[in-house]
Amino acid sequence: MFNTLSDRLTSVLQNLRGKGRLSDADIDATAREIRVALLEADVALPVVRSFIASVKERAKGSEVSQALNPAQQVVKIVNEELVGILGGETRRLNLAKTPPTVIMLAGLQGAGKTTLAGKLARWLKVQGHTPLLVACDLQRPNAVTQLQVVGERAGVPVFAPEPGNGVGDPVGVARRGVEEAKRAQHDVVVVDTAGRLGVDEEMMRQAIDIRAAVQPDEVLFVVDAMIGQDAVNTATAFRDGVGFTGVVLTKLDGDARGGAALSVREVTGQPILFASNGEKLEDFDVFHPDRMASRILGMGDMLTLIEQAEQAFDAEQAEAAAVKLGSGQLTLEDFLEQMLALRKMGPIANLLGMLPGANQMKDQLANLDEKHLDRVQAIIRGMTPAERDDPKMINASRRLRIANGSGVRVSDVNDLVNRFFEARKMMSQMAGRFGL
């Protein structure tokens, strides 16, 4: 995500390191390079202009800090300006005082609306809500079935027109969907609407009619971050035609040049509420401008990582494992549990990608082989509980049995067991040293 932009900005800012004082010429040169980096990332020109103007003004101005050196001050200013164009504060979803809260999704076909409906429904459920999905995309063949599939995966019911009843009437379906939510006491309704390949009058008309019929608390404009400048144009057309209260960026996992993400808030004046970064239901999160800016500047996103870890790991279990680890008692069973919890947080490369400096190790991340982890899991699963508990008992004939059972070579089993012993020894030594 934003790799190219992130690389460019990090290297521009690194060039300032070690300078005792920045002259106006230094600042101008840096500003020029940042400008090129932003334009290459497809950020809209007016946004780039105002961004550069404020960075320059602030860097040359009287913002002198005792604590920071000149290079750090520029990084701080660029960071704050980035947070600013991304919307400043995190904007939370508006919930209706009297449920149900109605959320309408709109956007071009292929933007990722239907996928997003599933992601949002799953997220709402995790937050303790009881969402209902309503299928009003009656334009695209299969859109209704697709919504039913994602609904099922998210464990959320879907209200859809019955064959022969309401198939041509998305406004009626939306209205009936909201009524159904009231009746069945769902506290949030997510209405998926039709998209087109381009903005057209009929699409706008339909969206306006649905909006008028269900009076949503939020109209979320879903936009594919990979389409660059077009995203901004579509968003503007949509804002003027139908109006929306917030933006959802999708496909941030592609090496999108990122311009859409950086421009859409500033150009439309509406905040970004959520971001999607993958095809799976859990590849979705609240959009935090400060965390995103930090990632773009190569400073990592530790807060998101910690939050994901809190969701994936059971605190008591983790504590028990830590104690065992310190005393050299960790078993392969504990190891498997920790590994499964870690992998629940998403692809390992994504997790490592949130660490500070991740853009410097992106080649290694790209080569990271999840299949290796699958193999390790398969080997441990091929062991009996007694073997997992006391790996010392795994002799040659047991190794052969495990290898055959899990479809790997004996040398793979040897490798895993040996490494496990080494790691266990090292960790208990480390724990001793840190007094754990």
Task: Show binding-site residues for GTP.
Answer: 107-114, 192-196, 250-253
| CB nearer ligand GDP, residue 204 or residue 322 | 204
Cα(422)–Cα(414) distance, integer angstroms: 12
**Per-residue H/E/C for 272-291:** EEEEECCCCCCCEEECCHHH
Residues near ligand GDP (CB under 6 A), total: 18
Q: How far apart are CA 282 and CA 357, in angstroms?
A: 24
- 209-217, 231-239, 273-281, 386-394 -> range binding ligand GDP (CB under 6 A): 273-281
198 vs 432, beta carbon nearer ligand GDP: 198
**From the CB of 160, what's the least distance to ligand GDP, in Å?**
14
Minimum CB distance to ligand GDP, residue 277 (Å): 5
Phi and psi at 135, nearest 5°, equal -90, 95
Confirm or reject binding of residue 110 to ligand GDP (CB under 6 A): yes
- In sequence order, the 6+-apart residues with CB closer than 8 A to the CB of 140 are 109, 194, 195
User: Of the two residues 8 and 251, which places its CB atom closer to ligand GDP in the complex?
Assistant: 251
CB distance 52 to 43 below 8 Å: no
Contacting residue, 8, 113, 295, 399, with ligand GDP by CB under 6 A: 113
Q: Which is nearer to ligand GDP, 112 or 271 (CB)?
A: 112
The CB-of-142 to ligand GDP minimum distance in angstroms stands at 9
CA atoms in the 13 A half-sphere facing the CB of 251:
19
Shortest Å, Cβ 212 to ligand GDP: 22
Q: How far is the CB of 161 from ligand GDP (least distance, A)?
A: 17
Secondary structure of residue 2 in the 3-state scheme = coil
Residue 398 CA, distance from chain mean position: 43
What residue spans of 345-409 are helical by DSSP H?
Answer: 348-352, 362-367, 370-381, 385-389, 396-406
**Angle separating helix axes 315-326 and 332-344, nearest 10 degrees:** 140
Nearer of residues 196 and 375 to ligand GDP, judged by Cβ: 196
Note whether 3 binds ligand GDP by CB under 6 A: no
Piece of 32-40, 81-89, 105-113, 398-406 that binds ligand GDP (CB under 6 A) = 105-113
Q: What character string, x for contact with ligand GDP (CB under 6 A) and - otherwise, covers 239-258?
A: -----------xx-xx----
Residue 112 interacts with ligand GDP (CB under 6 A): yes or no: yes
Show contacts with ligand GDP in window 140-199 (CB under 6 A): 195
User: Is 109 one of the binding residues for ligand GDP (CB under 6 A)?
Assistant: yes
The two tokens of residue 295 are 């990632």
Using the structure block, give the residue that is written with the tokens 């490494």. Answer: 419
From the CB of 353, what's the least distance to ligand GDP, in Å? 15
Q: What order of strands is seen across the sheet that includes strand 246-250?
A: 158-159, 131-136, 188-193, 101-106, 218-224, 246-250, 272-276, 284-286
Binding of residue 276 to ligand GDP (CB under 6 A): yes
Q: Which lies closer to ligand GDP via its Cβ, residue 268 or residue 276?
A: 276
Are the C-beta atoms of 137 and 148 separated by less than 8 Å? no
Strands 218-224 and 188-193: unpaired
Angle between helices 410-433 and 396-406 (to 10 degrees): 110
Task: In angstroms, give the least distance from the CB of 157 to ligand GDP.
Answer: 19
By CB under 6 A, is residue 122 in contact with ligand GDP?
no
User: Using the rule CB under 6 A, which residue among 268, 277, 294, 304 binds ligand GDP?
Assistant: 277
Is 350 a binder of ligand GDP (CB under 6 A)? no
Listed residue (217, 245, 275) closest to 95, CA to CA: 217
Kindly state the smallest distance separating residue 300's Cβ from ligand GDP, in Å: 21
**Which residues are at the interface with ligand GDP (CB under 6 A)?**
107, 109-115, 195, 250-251, 253-254, 276-279, 283
